[in-house]
Amino acid sequence: MKRTFAAVYCIVLASVPALAQKKAAAEKAGSDQQFVDFAAQTDMMEANLGQLAANAASSQQVKDYASTLVTDHTTDYGQLSTAAKQANLTVPNAIDTEHNKMLAPFQKLKGAAFDHKYAQEMVMGHTKAIAMYKKEAESGQNDALKNYAQTALPVLEKHLTGAKDLEKAKSSGK
């Protein structure tokens, strides 16, 4: 009986590292998928808000910035799709419920009110995106996604600078 117990105990003990590795691998793959989901939602959200700004914004500066974001985030979505495909991950192709709720208030705004809220949202959104992309670039598990994140960072940083400039212009009344 003791030998049987000892044998079972050894088998269980030997399988613990394998289970831990399997769980760790699943968590790492999950974090890459979470990044892909976040990046895709961000790209789709920015493109939609940019298109909305074409009609709702009053400032030409906001309209020009928004147009740049539509172009850049549409291009970025394609690059993300390529990297995700290489990583065998899926890319969302529609805005989820959470992000649709974030879009809704913008659809009710026009003119200076839109401009102000848009500038604020672009600063907050790009600040969050930069943090997520840096994390992926440093600790992502898939090389294609890490490279994608690293390549996308300068564009996001340019967007953040532009958003901060918009915010300053809106707060100074320009």
Alpha helices by DSSP H, 57-142: 60-86, 97-107, 111-139
Fold of 28-171: Ferritin (1.20.1260)
Measured CA to CA, the distance from residue 157 to residue 174 in angstroms comes to 23
The pTM for the full model equals 0.80
pLDDT band at 9 (very low <50, low <70, confident <90, very high): low
Determine phi and psi for 57, rounding to 5 degrees: -75, 150
Q: Are 137 and 149 in contact (CB under 8 A)?
A: yes
Task: Write the pLDDT tens digit of every residue in 82-93.
Answer: 999 999 999 999
Q: Cα–Cα distance between 31 and 136 in angstroms, integer?
A: 9
Distance CA 67, CA 162 (A): 12
Find out whether 56 and 110 touch, Cβ atoms under 8 Å.
yes
What helix, strand, coil percent values describe the chain, rounded to 5? 85, 0, 15
Domain limits, the chain: 28-171
What is the per-residue pLDDT across 126-163, written as a single tens digit (0 to 9) for each? 999 999 999 999 999 999 999 999 999 999 999 999 99
Distance, in Å, from the CA atom of 113 to the CA atom of 97, rounded to the nearest integer, reads 24
Residue pair 45/99 in contact by the 8 Å Cβ criterion: yes
